[in-house]
Amino acid sequence: MPLFSDEERALAETVSQLQDANPFLPERLELERRALGDDFVDTGLVWHRSEDFTERGRNLEALARRMERLTVAARKRLTNGESASDDELRLYEDLALYHIYHRYQQQFHDLIERPGAATSRIRFFDDYRDDAHFFLGRKLRGHEGEGLPGLPHPPSHLFALSFQIRRAFHYAIRYILGGSLPAAQLRAQVWQSVFSHDMRRYRRVLYERMDEITTLVTGPSGTGKELVAQAVGRSRYIPFDDAQGTFVADPEDSFYPLNLSALSPTLIESELFGHVKGSFTGATADRRGWLEICTRHGTVFLDEIGEVDPSIQVKLLRLLQNRTYQRLGETLGRTFRGKIVAATNRDLAEEIRAGRFRQDFYYRLCADQIVTPSLSKQLLDSPGELRNLLELLAARMVGDDEAPSLARETQSWIDSGLPPAYTWPGNVRELEQCVRNVLIRREYHPPGGQPIVSPARKLADDLECVRLTAGQLLARYCTLAYEACGSYSEAGRRLGLDRRTVRSHVDQARSERQGEEIRKGDEIRRGTESEPPVLDGRSDPAI
């Protein structure tokens, strides 16, 4: 008799695929939909920080309950002597691993939120280990474990992998803002940089070899390349020492950034490789560099790699080839065991053609490449994403309670004071400065001298030129009054209108504005569809 019924096997096979799926790709949602059927709650395509996780969590909780029932039932059949094929045992193993991870994922999340908790004694490992043996191990009291597939890896390794998976998801959400599809693609790229595309191979061998692969982050200035580097660097595999009951390193203390464009070649060598006393003027004592300070499970981030001097490129090439380096002024060879992540906003292909960047160095850098999207690309995909980003940036400045008010104020200024098709050349960094400017001065003036027109002045100009219908005039004037008063009630009092009437006119003005943005976005999209694609030797994520 088979271990699973046809319905149970279909569910087990779906969960087996879910366990290895990239959580930021739409395929993950399709698998959840297949597993839950009519109970699936459609919450949109992507995970992002501004999303209400309550609805999405309903899918995960419903799936976890089904997995627990199926895993417990299958274990009972196996320990009662039910025969199972190798394929059925593989499916059962995937079910058990999925079930155990979800049983403890909140406790793993709590470790991330508490500084220093990862390197303190972790009490729930004992329960995790007992569950791993209960559902998978054969070494149980009496003969309870007979028939089970056996542990695929030591419990300490499974524990470390579970913590890493939870961290990788957390940091991708924390550091990469936005709910657009390009933002989801970026998170998916980060996930692959951490685990590769094959989670099973990663569990078997890659977890201790990913430090050998350099990650190169490219994209326009202001698109969060260092944040992407942090998401990759803080999500690395950290072994768990079951004898001590702690992880061997703290992920919060494992990231070492160095901006190469801000330093001379000598200072770059000193900061990166270290130096010995007397190796140059001012070297009054021996000094360890980032490569020496960085632990086996840490990451050194080299920002602005495209601007580094050719003499430093040669030394970095040697580092990437042989994993060895020397302090400035000494001959002793040292070994680097961490990971290198580099970033640039320059076109390295053009730099190579111009003779400013070594081609052999580039090929050592580009084994794993992440491309950050511009803000205009994100807004073109999802015009409403601007408001989400404004609230996230505002929350960083004034806290969650005050963020909606500051976001509304900034949105109002953008709507009235910037051109409708403004492309945000400074990307998210410029948007952040816009929020700061509005917070302090209630206005933002972008570089380049573009004229800024106040809402009242713009309304007066439109009136003078008779560009508004009566309905548009009332909607615009109600919006101006609402933004000046801060509430529908006060605006209604001043205008002699009911607050609900004011609100309906404000909603009309916003709807017209959004329609204009979408229309212009469609025009821009149609204009770019005819442009030839830029080929960089890589395939886009399968979105």
**pLDDT average, residue stretch 351-361:** 94
**pLDDT average, residue stretch 345-365:** 94
Best mean pLDDT range from 69-78, 382-391, 472-481? 69-78
Strand, helix or coil for residue 253: helix
Residue type, 415: D
The pLDDT value given to residue 514 = 57
Tally of domains within the chain? 4
Confidence of residue 453 (pLDDT cuts 50, 70, 90): low
Q: CA separation (Å) from 234 to 50, 166, 190, 250?
A: 22, 11, 11, 9
The pLDDT value given to residue 534 = 36
Per-residue pLDDT reduced to its tens digit, 283-311 = 889 899 999 999 999 999 999 999 999 99
Is residue 402 assigned to a domain?
A: yes
Specify the pairing of strand 274-275 against strand 287-288: antiparallel
Among candidates 153, 161, 175, which has minimal Cα distance to 108?
161
Tokens (6 digits) for 152: 């695929």
Q: 438 and 530: one domain?
A: no
416 burial (CB, 10 Å; 0-12 / 13-18 / 19+) is buried
Q: Is the predicted pLDDT of residue 489 greater than 90, yes or no?
A: no
The pLDDT value given to residue 417 = 87
Per-residue pLDDT reduced to its tens digit, 525-537 = 444 344 333 333 3
Is residue 1 assigned to a domain?
A: no
Q: 194 and 259: one domain?
A: no
Q: 285 and 407: one domain?
A: no
Q: Are 344 and 305 in contact (CB under 8 A)?
A: yes
Confirm whether pTM is higher than 0.85: no
The pLDDT value given to residue 207 = 96
Best mean pLDDT range from 17-31, 229-243, 375-389, 479-493? 229-243
The pLDDT value given to residue 42 = 80
Domain end call among 373, 393, 409: 373
Domain end call among 163, 180, 208: 208
CATH of the domain at 294: 3.40.50.300
Q: 442 and 492: one domain?
A: no
The pLDDT value given to residue 535 = 34
Confidence of residue 52 (pLDDT cuts 50, 70, 90): very low
C-alpha–C-alpha distance, residues 233 and 231, integer Å: 6
Q: 203 and 343: one domain?
A: no
C-alpha–C-alpha distance, residues 339 and 246, integer Å: 22
247, β-bridge pairs: 240
Q: Is the predicted pLDDT of residue 164 greater than 50, yes or no?
A: yes
**pLDDT average, residue stretch 43-54:** 55
Q: 389 and 331: one domain?
A: no
Residue type, 78: L
Q: 96 and 38: one domain?
A: yes
Q: Is the predicted pLDDT of residue 423 greater than 60, yes or no?
A: yes
Strand, helix or coil for residue 49: coil
Mean of the per-residue pLDDT values for the chain? 87
The pLDDT value given to residue 45 = 57
Is residue 219 assigned to a domain?
A: yes
Domain end call among 432, 452, 472: 452
Q: CA separation (Å) from 148 to 79, 136, 142, 363, 431?
A: 7, 6, 14, 46, 56
Residue type, 527: G
Confidence of residue 480 (pLDDT cuts 50, 70, 90): confident
Strand, helix or coil for residue 241: strand
Q: Is the predicted pLDDT of residue 48 greater than 80, yes or no?
A: no
**pLDDT average, residue stretch 88-117:** 94
**pLDDT average, residue stretch 231-254:** 95
The pLDDT value given to residue 515 = 57
Q: Over pLDDT 90: what percentage of the chain?
A: 63
**pLDDT average, residue stretch 264-282:** 88
Q: Are 231 and 171 in contact (CB under 8 A)?
A: yes
**pLDDT average, residue stretch 487-505:** 89
Among candidates 123, 124, 231, which has minimal Cα distance to 175?
231
The pLDDT value given to residue 233 = 97
The pLDDT value given to residue 380 = 84
Q: 147 and 177: one domain?
A: yes
Q: 214 and 199: one domain?
A: no
Q: Which domain holds residue 439?
A: 378-452
Per-residue pLDDT reduced to its tens digit, 6-36 = 999 999 999 999 988 999 888 888 899 999 9
